[in-house]
Amino acid sequence: MATLEQQLRQAQKIEAVGRLAGGIAHDFNNLLMVIRSYTEMLRDSLPDNDRLRNDTEQVLKAADRGAASPSTIGFQPEAGSFPGRA
């Protein structure tokens, strides 16, 4: 009986970590979206030949690379699965 209870507690801990990771990824993506939006507005306000346009493009590329989807870290809410759970 103790083993079953330990397994249940372990599964609950893993689920909690998965929810936390998913929440962190969501919040991080929200921050990246703000960075992207302001960078796009800045880029669009610059003349085509402005040297800063290249810098804004680099910021946008970095934001795209940094966008973490929950599935990237093993959390897939649509499938109801969490890291470590089969």
Q: Where are the domains of the chain?
A: 2-73
Quote the CA–CA distance of 77 and 85 in Å, as a whole number. Answer: 12
Euclidean distance between CA atoms 57 and 55, whole angstroms: 5
CATH of 2-73, one of 2.40.160, 1.10.3470, 3.30.110, 1.10.287: 1.10.287
Please give the share of the chain, as a percent, with pLDDT higher than 90: 60
Looking at residues 52-60, what average pLDDT do you find?
Answer: 96
Is the Cβ–Cβ distance between 43 and 57 less than 8 Å? yes
Mean pLDDT of the 17-23 span: 90
pTM of the model: 0.65
**Confidence band (pLDDT; 50, 70, 90) for 2?**
confident
